[in-house]
Structure 1
Amino acid sequence: MISGYARHGRKSEASDLFPRVPVRNLFSWTAFISGLVQSGNGVDAFYLFIEMGRGVKIVDPLVLSSIVGASANLAVLELGKQIHGLVITLGYESCIFIIISNALVDMYAKCSDILAAKEIFGRMQRRDVVSWTSIIVGTAQYGQEKEALAIYDEMIYACSHVGLVSKGRYLFKSMEDYGINPSLQHYTCFLDLLSRSGQLAEAENLINAMPFKPDEPTWAALLSVCKHHNNIEMGIRVADHLLSLEPEDPSTYILLSNIYARAELGEKVSKVRKLMALMEVKKQPGYSCIELGKKSKVFYAGETTHSMKDVIFGLLKKLDAEMRRRNYVPDISSVLHDMEWQEKERQLFWHSERLAVAYGLLKAVPGTVIQVVKNLRVCGDCHTVLKFISTIMKREIVV
């Protein structure tokens, strides 16, 4: 009853009932404290936890995870650290007590100490959905969207090795056993599961065998995964199927160009670009925005009119020389235009995120994080360059 009252926000009834308990043991304290935390009464839960410590010698993982959760909800980092210290002292920070590790990851993430959250997550020998969700959401909210997506991909990969694909395959097969004909949507969902798990050969076999004619989004999704896994051979086959449909989505043509360019199929790249011109498909111009204080600056790819262009160019040139000294080689595969390699390197040099990062390095307070927002996906070469710059300048860079 105490737990029920507390969980549903009826704190006064729970408080009236609690003193009437003949013997206050670990279970009654835990029920009351956990209920208060669940109903958002974190401060009251802390006071009750302190009172509990005066009379109860044993503290169990459940009540500790509840108090850690209260620290997360209240964003009280120092108090959360003290509870973490108690967890370590009691020997509860182990794979056996996943509920506490999950609570600690969530607490540090919500309190913006993402490094501590990652450290605990990295030490966990056993993880569940709560573990993955906490670290992914925390990383994304901290502004590290790309890393959050990478962790998500890691989770999907991990799930594929613990039976998720097998479970999906079983469920898909069971539809036939129960006389249910899978729809195109069912096939698409299963294809997505196979693709995300890296089962590309099975995904291709399924798309060729299904009783529906695959539409543009279905082929495009598989092509995108081929590009992600760098499976160029399959990517060419999928791209040919997609091209035969005369797709309408402009982004599909850009994806096709990327695949053919990686395979060094110049004739097909030219064909796609002619179709793009015929359909008046234009690639969205890339731009990056950086905020410094209350002001924001927007940089477009290839921009040479900025008042600080000479200083920005000088810094980028200096960084480029140092990167090459450290064995950096520009990846020109993402530049689809038919031009000499020197011109392709120049195109990469003037990508908007590089301009924004250089501006931030010149204008931001030393030691602060350089945070840039871009409207398009960062190309592979810029991803490499930004890691080099971060190492050379000893600055954290988030794009």
Structure 2
Amino acid sequence: MPDISDARYTSNGIEQQGFVQQSDIFMDSCVVEIPDSYTLMDQLHNITPFDRLHRVFGDGYSFKYIRCSTSVTNGNVSVYKVSAPNVAIADPALTDIFLRMHQEHVFLQNYDITMDCLYISSRAIVKEFLLDNGISSKDILDDENKVGANCISWFTDEDEIRIRNKLYNKFVQLLESGEVRNQITSKLSELVMPTSQQFGETLVACRNEGLMRLELTVHSPELKEVEWNTNLIVNTLEFLHNCRTFATSYEKQWMALVDQIHNKHMLCIYFHKEHSLGYCHWFNKTTKKKQGIAKKLKKNEDMMTVVSNLTFNGHPTVLLTYATSSGPLESEVVLRRDITNITIVPSQRNSFWPVASRERQQHTFAEMGLINYRGIHIGGYTETLICPLTIYACWNY
């Protein structure tokens, strides 16, 4: 499979110093806990923890159960991640939400404040800068095997509050993998159909210089004042003002990725009794994350048509067929799409993009840097494409 772990996204960029604020400061998530005693009370009234969370946060927020834990102040608790719709840190609605939290016996563990910035850098460059500027190696998180070469985290303290500082190439995150917890998924459609209008505007504004995201996790049981949060992230940005950065367009970053995969084969695994498949366009051997789709097909969906639509022009795909996900390998076929056409992109909901009206599409992939390069031509289409595949080799087992 094509490995992109060595892609040099800063290459061919124009060297700069520091990052430039591009977005407002916003909160995009927080972690909360609910004592088990209140969860049990809710169960007696047929109320779920998600109902309680919705009463606190309202519409537009999403909730995900993380784990059970034991809290120093609240005993046995259930922990949830709350994803926010990029709410400005100065929005008065946030204050109202955190007041309701105490009334509903929902308690804060930490929250993220975030800023999007112009220019990009790499983990190696930022790490060197941190070590040269007073950050101890023990405070730099040793997690490259999880996040890759374009993300770095380090810890600091502010007013005796622990802060996790995280800096990563947001465009590359969209290219390389959709989600932290899913090994094969895709967020490429976010480039042309962003789920957030604010983020969509930021994506466009940064397409000629690159987009880096600075995210600070504040480990505090209370939401700090707007001024405190603002000063914290602005001072962190100022601390990085002498760090080596690069103005590198999305197009050049995309070309750096394609240079790693253009002469490699893609991989598809099909389970014919389950009528489900997994297709991988590229993967990162360091993080083990894969760009692609894992999906149970509809009864009337033809597997070969789906594989063809996911295949790059003129590039081989190895198709491995099994009866079931636990069965032995039955056949191995090398396929190649010989006609010139776009490659369909999986959507964030794991269907074939786009499933919604094309009116939601704000830009083309080419406008967002994903140009037709070395036969890799990504696009979206409202109808199923019929792209014949040629079988170049076949082995039955």
Higher relative contact order (Cα pairs below 8 Å, separated by 6+ residues):
2
TM-score when scaled to structure 2?
0.24
TM-score when scaled to structure 1?
0.24
By percentage of residues, which structure has more helix?
Answer: 1
By percentage of residues, which structure has more strand?
Answer: 2
Larger Rg: 1
